[in-house]
Structure 1
Amino acid sequence: MVTTSRSLSRRSVLLGGGVLLGALTGCGVPAAHVPAAERAAADLSRREKRLTWANWPLYIDTDEERPSRRPTLEAFERRTGISVEYVEEINDNDEFFGKISPALMNRQPTDRDLIVISDWMCARFVRLGWVQEMDRSRQPNVTKYLDPLLRSPAFDPGRKFTVPWQSGITGIAYNRRRVGREIRSVSDLWAPDLKGRVTLLSGVDEAFALLMQGNGIDITRWTADDFHTVCDQVEKQVAKGQIRRFTGNDYIKDLSSGDVLACQAYSGDVIQLQADDPDIEFVVPEEGAELWSESLMIPNLARHKANAELLIDHYYDPEVAAELAAWVNYVCPVPAAQDVLASSDDEETAALAEDPLIFPDAAMRERLAIARDIEPGERQEFARRWNKIVGL
């Protein structure tokens, strides 16, 4: 088994780009929207057996002895004869948006056939009409094996434009030995003995859902009042000195050192931390936690759409999904991969099948939900208020 840590900026902080996005996806630039009839280019897939795929660093399996090799990707190339140019160029959702949005806005090709970005950013691409609907007749594995929990987010009902690459959970991480008791609820973060040793995520898109769930809110249909209630609560905790700081993925360092005892965290990070410190726990609170994805999309005017659709389906073969899950350690969007890992002759690999942070068990699944994203008309107001609290 090979594992690696998540890219430090993969679900990165929403800075000023949030305001830009709010203006662009709202009424400020109506010409940015591309109607369905103008999204497709002539597909050269049959003649040109290739495609270009943009992804995040450290987000695919590699060969332990030869890191430049990617076994699951090479298997696709051998099976189909399609050559894949795999580019690790996405380090931040907003940064990548800025990189390719001029082309998409102006009805020009991006020179990429497949991209992977966080679902909250995917929502903007879908609303703007910047991505193409996929042909599920070329994707029988996606149709059959995609996790039911991920099949119909509010921003893309039925997943017509997006397919999850990997998924994860935003919950609570804490050091059980140092805290000396269990943490089970969002409200436990506000306990007096944790004063000054709690962190929250700084990005508004990353932070708000879990905090709302702590208030008993259904995050699939939250309201502006729910958002402002959370902000009021967080402001009070900041004033009391309960919250040490707001972080990106650097909470990992704080939790490992003991400077922080409990924090908002991503499930994939905690799997890596537990390898070095088994006292670190990840909790899906009693009130629930947010299930999120980073998803594959085919941008407008991609010249190898059919090839990209075949590649996506390749990764929904349970055997392939299992191989990838064993390496990246995120929540696998293909539940059928669990049985593949469980049957492995390698003891350590087989044990991954029982890890609820890769394959959530039934009890955990009941407490997971995909939050509706912040809509264009809300973003500027919400980002301004949240960023003022965070100090951005």
Structure 2
Amino acid sequence: MKSVLQRVYLTLILILLYAPIVTLMILSFNASKSRSKWGGFTTKWYVELFRNEQIMNALYTTLIIALLSALIATVIGTAAAIGIQALRSKFRTFMMGVTNIPMLNADIVTGISLMLLFIAFRFSLGFSTILFAHITFNIPYVILSVTPKLKQTNKSTYEAALDLGASPVHAFFKVVFPDILPGVSSGFLLAFTMSLDDFIITHFTKGPGVDTLSTKIYSEVRKGIKPEMYALSTIMFVTVLLLLVLVNIAPEEKQVRGRIPEKPRRRHKISRFLFRKVVPVMMAAVVIVGGVFYGSRADTGGADQVIVYNWGEYLDPDAITIFEEETGIDVVYEEYETNEIMYPKIQSGAIAYDVVCPSDYMIQRMLENDLLAEINFDNVPNIKEIGDTYMDMSRQFDPENKYSVPYTWGTVGILYNKKMVDEPIDSWSVLWDETYKDSILMQDSVRDAFGITLKYLGYSLNSTDLDELEAAKKLLIEQKPLVQAYVIDQVRDKMIGNEAAIGVIYSGEAIYTQWENPDLEYVIPKEGSNVWIDSWVIPKNAKHKENAEKFINFLCRPDIAKMNFDYITYSTPNVGGRALIEDEALRDNPIAFPPEKDLERCETFRFLGDENDAIYNELWREVKSK
């Protein structure tokens, strides 16, 4: 019985450990991009992986930074450990305490501190600052690994070597270093692993055009992880698994007293040769050659470039390639997840972005804080392709249309499953219908959640009236028991997979979900909703303003606007681009291009001021904490 229980327990542990990995591996062969729908077996994501320059660049950057930072930190940390060991007892204890502080500190504290240091000394955030940051936080781990081995060394042996005429350096490498080598190796491996796995410190010290795997994955979370990333993760897991197998089938020869050790088997010889010689050489070659190729392309640093800061998965990569080929201007491209993450970077001036794509209310905030440069529309003749309707809508946050060019637009509405909902939906009231308890998905966003509720109550979604906001808060608290989950872009996969009956969603995502699940229907409720516009702007500290204007003009070209619409499925304000959409049903799709009568009931979000933002956030915390 005990044996059976042990096996059951071990099986459960293995399932918990490896079920997520197996799921990820299965998804890497799924023809559908949705995790909720099996579209058939395919290997195309593995092919696409090696064509995806951004992912490959992130992979090589991750490996190079991990390798270089681990090597440099190992050298510095080993030297520091030797120096600390030579100190008197009191000073040694003090120095070890100082060394341990960075390891006890939260990573976010270290990351922000290093970022502020780089900004204070006017370093350009990029590859070098990430490398310096990784070396800095790796050194203490090397010291911690080497110090115990130094304590075990015999000083007399070192002194004897000096007495026999060896130089200090020669004596160290012949006598001391072999003794501490296990600690040095452990320190290197620990530093390599810590660097490879780091996200927070990299996030705060990286610059435009430089991504590691961790920051790349993070930037994709809101829009959904690319299947190519599943393929890469599968390859990495299988590679590690093979290395572990090689280690375990190549045991060291054991010396048995009085007996001649057995001759190693041929397969053991081969595996040891592969593991000790071939694999390290191949890994080093891949890292160095690949890193030079991809890294050099990511860090051009020349005047003929434009630094773009955009939402994740919000621009067809082929459009960037075409622009570079046509103009000779190199595009350094970086992605963000929310307006609130983007804004502090622009405000700090730590990185001089040339083109940014904020939402309506954030553009208003940036204008009020004098962060934007006026666009020279002589360099943007394709502005004529943007419909008058959208230029007029833009006046709500850019009164004179001097600082922004509309890029995409859409609405917020209700997505519902016709097979799970009894009747057509036309009101926000369904979000408070107990019939659909535990089958409602709400947006995990303060402005969206309050905007929906305020419109349902008959108020403006930009209300600053405390009584109206309190009423909305009370209604949101009443709704909580009915809500299955507060999500952002996860609503897409949940609705495709029939995991919920009703979800609040952005119109662009609704189009994609209908392609994957024809049972889904999208509606703008009769009380009205949010109509949003994301527009291109140029920060005031942009270093390549003319190139930025060329880039914006290029994106306003009808064929490019249509290309981007096909890629991201968000509505285009480009009249010429819309005319190029061949599928008439898509060109006149009421989700992508709703009729005027539906838009009349909609509003754009406005920046309400820091004080009102704080009130909204406090009320939202009260809702979430109940």
TM-score, shorter chain, exceeding 0.5? yes
1:120–1:205 Cα contact (<8 Å) kept? no
SS in 2 for 1:199: strand
Amino acid across the alignment from 2:524: V
1:10–1:92 Cα contact (<8 Å) kept? no
Change (3 A) 1:154 1:73: same
Which deviates more from structure 2 when the two are superposed, residues 322-331 or residues 115-124? 115-124
Amino acid across the alignment from 2:589: D
Amino acid across the alignment from 1:9: R
The alignment status of 1:307 with 2:562, answered yes or no, reads no
What 5-or-longer segments of structure 2 have no aligned partner? 1-31, 35-218, 225-301
* 1:283 Cα deviation after fit: 0.8
In the aligned structure 2, how far is the partner of 1:366 from the partner of 1:119? 17
Paired residue for 2:438, among 180, 190, 196? 196
Counterparts of 1:74-223 in structure 2, within 5 Å, are: 74-79=321-326, 81-103=327-349, 110-143=351-384, 145-149=386-390, 151=392, 152-219=394-461, 223=465
1:201–1:207 Cα contact (<8 Å) kept? yes
1:57-113: CA deviation from partner (whole Å, max 9, x where unpaired): 321124xxxxxxx1x33443444x241324133233333334443226xxxxx2321
SS in 1 for 2:411: strand
The alignment status of 1:364 with 2:364, answered yes or no, reads no
* 1:350 Cα deviation after fit: 4.5
* 1:183 Cα deviation after fit: 0.8
The alignment status of 1:73 with 2:313, answered yes or no, reads no
In the aligned structure 1, how far is the partner of 2:358 from the partner of 2:306? 18
In the aligned structure 2, how far is the partner of 1:224 from the partner of 1:142? 41
Change (3 A) 1:288 1:149: farther
The alignment status of 1:375 with 2:609, answered yes or no, reads yes
In the aligned structure 1, how far is the partner of 2:363 from the partner of 2:411? 17
Paired residue for 1:9, among 207, 222, 228? 222
Amino acid across the alignment from 1:186: W
Aligned to 1:15: none
Change (3 A) 1:294 1:255: same
Paired residue for 1:278, among 518, 522, 529? 518
Aligned to 1:390: 624
Q: Give the helix-richer structure, 1 or 2.
A: 2
Aligned-residue sequence identity (percent) comes to 25
In the aligned structure 2, how far is the partner of 1:292 from the partner of 1:134? 21
Aligned to 2:305: 50
Change (3 A) 1:149 1:217: farther
Bigger Rg over Cα:
2
* 1:323 Cα deviation after fit: 2.0
Higher relative contact order (CA 8 A, sep 6+): 1
Aligned to 1:355: 589
* 1:317 Cα deviation after fit: 2.4
Amino acid across the alignment from 1:97: Y
Amino acid across the alignment from 2:503: C
Aligned to 1:319: 559
Change (3 A) 1:352 1:77: same
Paired residue for 1:228, among 460, 470, 487? 470
2:411–2:531 Cα contact (<8 Å) kept? yes
What 5-or-longer segments of structure 1 have no aligned partner? 12-46, 63-69, 105-109
1:340-359: CA deviation from partner (whole Å, max 9, x where unpaired): 21xx3xxxx45421222222
In the aligned structure 1, how far is the partner of 2:365 from the partner of 2:425? 35
* 1:147 Cα deviation after fit: 4.9
2:380–2:552 Cα contact (<8 Å) kept? yes
1:53–1:84 Cα contact (<8 Å) kept? no
TM-score normalised by the chain length of structure 2: 0.49
In the aligned structure 1, how far is the partner of 2:561 from the partner of 2:335? 22
In the aligned structure 1, how far is the partner of 2:458 from the partner of 2:379? 41
Change (3 A) 1:234 1:98: same
Change (3 A) 1:290 1:234: same
Aligned to 2:535: 295
* 1:329 Cα deviation after fit: 0.5
Q: For the aligned residues, what is the CA RMSD?
A: 2.8
1:1-29: CA deviation from partner (whole Å, max 9, x where unpaired): xx988954269xxxxxxxxxxxxxxxxxx
Change (3 A) 1:164 1:145: closer
1:4–1:58 Cα contact (<8 Å) kept? no
2:526–2:601 Cα contact (<8 Å) kept? yes
1:258-311: CA deviation from partner (whole Å, max 9, x where unpaired): 332112111111111111211111111112221112222211221211221122
SS in 1 for 2:353: coil
Q: How many residues align?
A: 333
Amino acid across the alignment from 2:492: I
1:30-77: CA deviation from partner (whole Å, max 9, x where unpaired): xxxxxxxxxxxxxxxxx9443221223321124xxxxxxx1x334434
* 1:245 Cα deviation after fit: 3.0
TM-score normalised by the chain length of structure 1: 0.76
SS in 2 for 1:158: coil
